Structure 1
Amino acid sequence: MTCGSNPPWKTMLSLLLPAMLSVQTMALMEVYVPEQPVVALHGRDATLNCSFSVPTPFNLSDLSVFWQLTDTKRSVHAYWKGQDQLADQAERFANRTSLFPAQLGLGNTSLLLSGVVVADEGSYTCFVRVQDYGSAALLLQVAAPYSKPIVTLEPEFNLRPGDEVALTCVAYGGYPQADVIWQDASGRNLTDNITSSFVANEEGLFTMTSVLTVVLEPNSTYSCRLINPLLGEEGYASVTITGQNITFPPVALWVTVGLAVCLLVLLIALAAVCRRKIKESCEEARREAEEAKELEEEESKTAMTLLKS
């Protein structure tokens, strides 16, 4: 191939497309692809279904099939003259695509894509030509399940009533970004209090980290629920914070403080009563002593008077 010349499939396609556009309303061929997106699991094989209908039997040598990326027009797979034509196939699809040869005569031009990766996500167009022309595009979406979520508590020790604690939920290796729902034991949604982040690795798969901040209460359960928009609910994990981790649970603290205040008041009142009683007893004893002394002095005076007389 000389420099600057178009690949054969591009030349054929450049002639094919104007003809397709001009006779689209007259074409007898219908090309069918799924209306809903095709969801493929990361690392697995996926079939991009495409079929066509023709009114009469045809020779495979007259069949031309082109699969290409809708947006960039890069070649994914090409077939004409009874065999695959892969010289101009995009490098990342090399050795990963195939048609179903035994099905071509039945109008099945589906493409098998092996080892699906995140980068394969996008729109694919299937062009078919026998005597007439037709094309249709489908959407491929890639999904990867996340690992089971793990919930951790920070800090784990020396917790006190009213402390703010951070609950962290982590899951790995998923795609696309998942929805994260935090709930308490009663099912109340706590999602407004969270911060979530998604970091992609070199394969495009995400590590999800979600942090929920709560004010510490005893015997509370918090759950992290992970929902993959393509695969549905994937994982669930929970953590329970019990009073064993808390020095003084809030309820017990107020009870203790109340009892201490009552005891202090009681002791003060008791001390005041005792002091008053002791003071009264001392005064009474002093009065009795004075009365006894006065009586003794009077008796002594009476005795002296009798002796003198």
Structure 2
Amino acid sequence: MIQKLLFFCGLLGLDAVSTKDPTAAPPFQTVDIVLDCLYVGDDPKGSPGAFGGSLSKDLALLVLRNVSVRDDGSLGEATDYVVPQENAGSSPRIVFEASALLVSIPHAESLLHTDCNREEVNCEISPYNSQQHGKGLCPASWFIGTLRLSSGISIALLLRGPHCSSAQEKPDAILHPKLRIPVSKKGTVLTTVEFQSSSCNTSLRTRLGGLVILDCQFALAPSSLLSSLEWKRQHRGSGRSLFRYQAGSTGPIAEPKVHVDLAQLLGNGNASLHLQGVSVGDEGTYICLVSTPLHQIQHIIQLQVVEPPRVRVIPAHVSFERDVTTTLTCNIAGYYPLDVSVSWTQKTAEDEAEITLSSARFSSHQRSQDGTYGITSYLSISSATVQAPATYSCHVSHVALEEPISVRAYLKASEKTRLEGLVGGILATVIFVVVLFIVLRMKRTVKPKAEELLRGSE
């Protein structure tokens, strides 16, 4: 089998061969995936810590060999990956070569294209010390690789390293200066992926009352068998087991709202937890524990319950009475979690933009039986400070909202006020007409008298 590595992102843009059937499933191709990692292990020379020693961190490289990925025609030509020679003056990296022939690597396409997709990968490799070890195996010859992608994907790889007996059988075997286990002629640690587990969501948000699926997948080498699966939930210092399946038992033990499909669990390693009728009390940290007789891998998923607020302003339409103070009420209810932001704005015909008001009053938070919260905001307005028409808006921001909710109340002059204004306008018009009539009549009376005076003078 040819081992290949994709070196350049530009190769991803190559078009597929036009003669291929566009409806056919893409074929598989084997490639090498190379990831920059940190090796985190105990430092015997370090100062004593909580567990009797400090941790050391060394630069490492994880080379996943023979990874099968779908080729849609964009992979192009790739070359074998060659472990580079370290510079004499630089600190040597610990290179782990991991064969993926026995266990498939999950989310391989995402790992392969991380650089091109500008996705960050956090990779750590640590010694795995299981409670039981097979005969002839060093405790330090098992390693756990943890990969976390910025998109939320989490992958754990259990790597089986070389046997301790190799050094005894071959006195000339080269030992790694730090790990003290045999290495290849290239100075790399040869390992095999024996057990992998993954989750495509390390954190989830869900609404009340719905169904949420907490993803957990795994695959084992043919020599390993599933021993047990357990789902746990932890929240605010307390925890409990939600689901447990033990190989050889009559059936799983599960709480009422949770479900794991046993056929998929035993058939293709789908250990996902289905949680129905989500409530506020279901929020917390969920742990998927997949175990074999010798090893255990866990995944942690943070589940956050969010519910957007319902907002209503009372009254929605206000007839403004003279010399009367009116109170607008903004009811915000049914939201979770607690933090919510409420503000008021005003806009009259004379305002070019909305004006933020700071005179609002608030009630204390109230909690409903379903665990959601509510609060009420009050805004008092008076004819002494504002003239109708005007618009008042209650703006509410919450983590469950993509953008704030704005609910408006419209202020208009009352019928009495408008009638008084109409009567006042009519009276003003009548008075104007009367005054104009009197002025014109006076002018007519004055003009003949002036003409008679002029004749008499002649």
Q: Name the counterpart of 2:70.
A: none
Q: Given the alignment of the two structures, is residue 95 of structure 1 paired with residue 95 of structure 2, yes or no?
A: no
Q: Deviations over 1:75-106 (max 9, x none)?
A: 111111156432xx6xxxx3211112232232
- Matched pairs, number: 228
Q: Deviations over 1:145-177 (max 9, x none)?
A: 433x2212599677335x654321113333224
Out of 237-246 and 22-31, give the one that drifted further: 22-31
Contact 1:34 1:138 in 2 (8 A): no
Contact 2:130 2:295 in 1 (8 A): no
Instruction: Provide the rounded CA distance (Å) in 2 between the counterparts of 1:189 and 1:132.
Output: 63
Instruction: Provide the rounded CA distance (Å) in 1 between the counterparts of 2:200 and 2:224.
Output: 24
Contact 2:215 2:272 in 1 (8 A): yes
Give me the TM-score of the superposition, normalised by structure 1.
0.60
Q: Name the counterpart of 2:232.
A: 68
2:342 paired residue among 170, 177, 180: 180
Instruction: Provide the rounded CA distance (Å) in 1 between the counterparts of 2:397 and 2:329.
Output: 17
Which runs of no fewer than 5 residues in structure 1 stay unpaired? 1-16, 260-309
The one-letter amino acid of 1:167's match is L
Q: Deviations over 1:198-231 (max 9, x none)?
A: 3111111223322234444321101123333124
Q: Deviations over 1:23-45 (max 9, x none)?
A: 89724144433555311211111
Q: Name the counterpart of 1:124.
A: 286
1:179 Cα deviation from its structure 2 partner: 3.0
Instruction: Evaluate the alpha carbon distance shift between residue 126 and residue 202 of structure 1 in structure 2; reply closer, same or farther with a 3 A threshold.
Output: same
Q: Name the counterpart of 1:110.
A: 272
Q: Given the alignment of the two structures, is residue 47 of structure 1 paired with residue 213 of structure 2, yes or no?
A: yes
1:64 Cα deviation from its structure 2 partner: 1.1
Instruction: Evaluate the alpha carbon distance shift between residue 134 and residue 193 of structure 1 in structure 2; reply closer, same or farther with a 3 A threshold.
Output: farther
SS of match in other structure, 2:288: strand
SS of match in other structure, 2:344: strand
Q: Given the alignment of the two structures, is residue 211 of structure 1 paired with residue 378 of structure 2, yes or no?
A: yes
Instruction: Provide the rounded CA distance (Å) in 2 between the counterparts of 1:191 and 1:26.
Output: 61
SS of match in other structure, 1:176: coil
Instruction: Evaluate the alpha carbon distance shift between residue 82 and residue 209 of structure 1 in structure 2; reply closer, same or farther with a 3 A threshold.
Output: farther
SS of match in other structure, 2:268: coil
1:68 Cα deviation from its structure 2 partner: 0.9
SS of match in other structure, 2:238: coil
Q: Name the counterpart of 2:435.
A: none
Whose helix fraction is larger, Structure 1's or Structure 2's?
1
Q: Name the counterpart of 2:397.
A: 227
Instruction: Provide the rounded CA distance (Å) in 2 between the counterparts of 1:120 and 1:133.
Output: 25
SS of match in other structure, 1:73: strand
Q: 1:233-248 to 2 correspondence within 5 Å? A: 233=403, 235-244=405-414, 247=417
The one-letter amino acid of 2:233's match is L
SS of match in other structure, 1:26: strand
Out of 210-219 and 41-50, give the one that drifted further: 210-219
The one-letter amino acid of 2:298's match is S
Q: Which has the larger radius of gyration?
A: 1
Q: Name the counterpart of 2:13.
A: none
Instruction: Evaluate the alpha carbon distance shift between residue 126 and residue 231 of structure 1 in structure 2; reply closer, same or farther with a 3 A threshold.
Output: farther
1:133 paired residue among 286, 296, 321: 296
1:65 Cα deviation from its structure 2 partner: 1.1
Q: Percent identity?
A: 25
Q: Name the counterpart of 2:143.
A: 26
Instruction: Evaluate the alpha carbon distance shift between residue 187 and residue 48 of structure 1 in structure 2; reply closer, same or farther with a 3 A threshold.
Output: farther
2:366 paired residue among 199, 205, 215: 199
Q: Deviations over 1:252-289 (max 9, x none)?
A: 9xxx9xx9xxxxxxxxxxxxxxxxxxxxxxxxxxxxxx
1:235 Cα deviation from its structure 2 partner: 4.1
Out of 132-141 and 152-161, give the one that drifted further: 152-161
Instruction: Provide the rounded CA distance (Å) in 2 between the counterparts of 1:209 and 1:33.
Output: 41
Contact 1:51 1:110 in 2 (8 A): yes
The one-letter amino acid of 2:259's match is S
Contact 1:43 1:117 in 2 (8 A): yes
Give me the TM-score of the superposition, normalised by structure 2.
0.42
Instruction: Evaluate the alpha carbon distance shift between residue 107 and residue 152 of structure 1 in structure 2; reply closer, same or farther with a 3 A threshold.
Output: same
Q: Name the counterpart of 1:9.
A: none
Q: Deviations over 1:42-80 (max 9, x none)?
A: 111111112234344754xx3311111234231111111
SS of match in other structure, 2:143: coil
The one-letter amino acid of 2:305's match is V
Which runs of no fewer than 5 residues in structure 2 stay unpaired? 1-128, 133-138, 145-157, 159-194, 429-458
Instruction: Evaluate the alpha carbon distance shift between residue 229 and residue 78 of structure 1 in structure 2; reply closer, same or farther with a 3 A threshold.
Output: same
